[in-house]
Amino acid sequence: MMPLLSVIIPIYNVEKYLHQCVDSVLHQNLNDLEIVLVNDGSPDNCPQICNEYAKKYPFIKALHKENGGLSDARNEGLKDASGDYVIFLDSDDWWNPNVSVTDMLSYVKNNPSTDMFLFTSYDYIEGEGYFQRNEHQNLKNVDTSSVKNYYQSLLDNGNMEVAAYTKILKREFLVKNNLYFKRNLLSEDNEWLMRLLRVAHKVDVINQPLSIYRAGRADSITNTIKKKNIVDLLSIVQSSIDYYAKHDNDIKEQELCFASYLWFCALGLANRLNQAELQEVKPLFKKTSSVCAYSNSKKTKLSNTVYKICGFNLTVKILGAYLKRKKNDTAKTKVAEEIGQIA
């Protein structure tokens, strides 16, 4: 008999955090569960830790593969999973012990026509405690009456909630629509979510902060912006432009607005490149700039206005300064007392 839920955990070089991650799932005491540990060629003790869990718990699988990156590990886990629903959990993150996954799954079972359920999360800044993510404060007001309204609500909120680890998804829906993650692509969740929302029929929100995201790691993508980050973001924008040159659907305006948001994010992140690299990516910005015509949310409208007035180079500096300030201001609401300490 297939389990109700498969939790897919891609693993690479996280022996310091892996026990906390897996144990947070085990502490939920779920009856109808499968945990798929995907060792992505980790060079530390993670392979042994995975095997120990699999030996101790019959519902835990330990998969071992050559290193292929996060997307490839998630894909392998999805191919091996057998649950009706899946949750992706990054191996340096963990689940909030004060949120009942049993209650969340009860809601899921009562809404069998829904393809994707979005839930919320907290950021954890090591050494400082738990912090609430400001983007999530309005999720309870998201309109889920249609995928188009859901899309627009998130655009209006100013954050598309792209992270794969904040979703409960029908496994059959993912497999049937070939919703695997694109390999060797940074910011892969953005591209994946775009494809997902094109084919989703019904989405919903469970306003529970289940996932705890470990922010501020020295080697995280937010601290290691390189030319490839910019190139990959613009390739996602280009893929959206190319898709709507051949197709049309109800969410075209929303997706291209989201693509313009990614374009301006890339423009701000380009401030971290040296001058030679900036000149190398400038033609990519020009090639994809047509997407700015779809800037119809508050953030993208304002960014587009700044771009029209200030031009490329100055807007890079302005948006770069904004992103740096935003990063420093992300964790304003301390909630350690609310969700407890298990670090």
| DSSP assignment string, 204-266 | EEEEEEEEEEEE--TTSGGG---HHHHHHHHHHHHHHHHHHHH---TTHHHHHHHHHHHHHHH
In the chain, what percentage of residues exceed pLDDT 90? 80
In this prediction, residue 324 carries a pLDDT of: 82
State whether 252 and 193 are in the same domain: no
pTM: 0.92
The Cβ of residue 212 has, within 10 Å, a number of other Cβ atoms equal to 24
State whether 125 and 265 are in the same domain: no
At position 269, the amino acid (one-letter code) is L
State whether 243 and 130 are in the same domain: no
For residue 44, what is the DSSP state?
A: S
State whether 139 and 201 are in the same domain: yes
In this prediction, residue 203 carries a pLDDT of: 98
In this prediction, residue 231 carries a pLDDT of: 98
State whether 70 and 217 are in the same domain: yes
State whether 210 and 270 are in the same domain: no
Q: Which residue has the tokens 């990156």?
A: 69
Residue 158's pLDDT band, with cuts at 50, 70 and 90, is confident
Q: Any idea what the CATH number is for the domain that residue 85 is in?
A: 3.90.550.10
- Check pLDDT > 90 for residue 37: yes
Q: Which residue has the tokens 């009856």?
A: 31
- Check pLDDT > 50 for residue 273: yes
Pairwise CA distance, residues 261 & 152, whole Å: 13
Total residues found in the chain within this entry = 343
Cβ-count burial 110-149 (b if 16+ within 10 Å, e if not): eeeebbbbbbbbbbbeeeeebbbbbbbeebeebeeeebbe
State whether 139 and 29 are in the same domain: yes
Quick check: 64 and 47 in contact, CB under 8 A?
yes
Closest to 302 in 3D by CA, of 91, 198, 99, 158: 158
DSSP bridge partners of 111: none
In the chain, what percentage of residues exceed pLDDT 70? 89
State whether 270 and 129 are in the same domain: no
Residue 217's pLDDT band, with cuts at 50, 70 and 90, is low
Higher-confidence residue of 168 and 223: namely 168
Task: Tell me the C-alpha to C-alpha distance, in Å, between residue 230 and each of 2, 66, 160, 264.
Answer: 41, 27, 19, 10
Mean pLDDT over 26-38 rounds to 97
State whether 87 and 123 are in the same domain: yes
Provide the residue range defining the domain that includes 84.
5-221+335-339
Residue 338's pLDDT band, with cuts at 50, 70 and 90, is very low
- Check pLDDT > 70 for residue 304: yes
State whether 246 and 216 are in the same domain: no
Residue 337's pLDDT band, with cuts at 50, 70 and 90, is very low
State whether 235 and 279 are in the same domain: yes
Q: Which of 151-155, 318-322, 324-328 shows the lowest per-residue confidence on average (mean pLDDT)? A: 324-328
Q: Which residue has the tokens 């070939």?
A: 178
Q: Which of 22-31, 107-116, 132-141 shows the lowest per-residue confidence on average (mean pLDDT)? A: 132-141
In this prediction, residue 103 carries a pLDDT of: 98
Number of domains forming the structure of the chain:
2
Q: Which of 66-75, 106-115, 118-127, 239-248 shows the lowest per-residue confidence on average (mean pLDDT)? A: 118-127
Mean pLDDT over 152-170 rounds to 92
State whether 179 and 323 are in the same domain: no
Mean pLDDT over 221-246 rounds to 90
Residue 40's pLDDT band, with cuts at 50, 70 and 90, is very high
Cβ-count burial 234-246 (b if 16+ within 10 Å, e if not): bbbbbbbbebbee
